[in-house]
C-alpha cells in the first residue's frame, strides 16, 4: 500500500483540532443541533470569549459552520459523522479504562 504523506499530515492536523477537552464538549453539545456562542458557553461552563476562540478554531478547520441571524450567530456541526467519530473514541477509551481497572483489581488482589 502506498501512503500519501500530505493526506496523513492533514489528518493529523484535524485530529489535533479535536484534541482539546473544551472542543470535545462543544462537539458533544452541538450534536443536538445549532446553538449560539452564549448557549454553548453556558452549557459547557466556559467563558464566552474562550468559547468564541474555540469555535473559531473549529470553524477554521471545517468542524463547525456558522449561520448569522440578526445579531446572533448559530453554530452547528458541518457533518454529524464528526460526533460519531468522537463517540467511537469515547467507546474505545471506556473499554481501555475497564480493562485497566480489571488488571489493577487482579494485581491488587
Q: Report the pLDDT value the prediction gives residue 91, as an integer from 0 to 100.
A: 92
Q: Report the pLDDT value the prediction gives residue 33, as an integer from 0 to 100.
A: 95
Using pLDDT thresholds of 50, 70 and 90, give the confidence band for residue 108.
confident
Asked if residue 40 has pLDDT above 80, the reply is yes
Using pLDDT thresholds of 50, 70 and 90, give the confidence band for residue 105.
confident
Q: Report the pLDDT value the prediction gives residue 101, as an integer from 0 to 100.
A: 79
Domains and CATH numbers, the chain: 5-78 (1.10.10.10)
To 10 degrees, the CA torsion angle through 92, 95, 101, 107? -100
Alpha-carbon distance 103 to 82, whole Å?
32
Residues 6+ apart with CB under 8 A from 39: none
Query: pTM for the whole thing?
Result: 0.85
Amino acid at each position: 500500500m502506498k501512503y500519501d504523506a500530505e493526506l496523513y499530515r492533514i489528518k493529523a492536523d484535524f485530529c489535533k483540532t479535536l484534541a482539546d477537552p473544551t472542543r470535545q464538549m462543544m462537539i458533544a453539545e452541538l450534536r443536538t443541533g445549532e446553538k449560539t456562542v452564549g448557549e454553548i458557553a453556558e452549557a459547557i461552563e466556559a467563558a464566552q470569549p474562550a468559547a468564541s476562540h474555540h469555535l473559531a478554531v473549529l470553524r477554521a478547520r471545517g468542524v463547525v459552520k456558522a449561520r448569522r441571524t440578526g445579531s446572533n450567530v448559530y453554530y452547528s456541526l458541518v457533518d454529524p459523522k464528526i460526533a460519531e467519530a468522537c463517540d467511537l473514541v469515547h467507546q474505545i477509551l471506556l473499554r481501555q479504562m475497564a480493562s485497566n481497572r480489571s488488571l489493577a483489581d487482579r494485581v491488587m488482589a
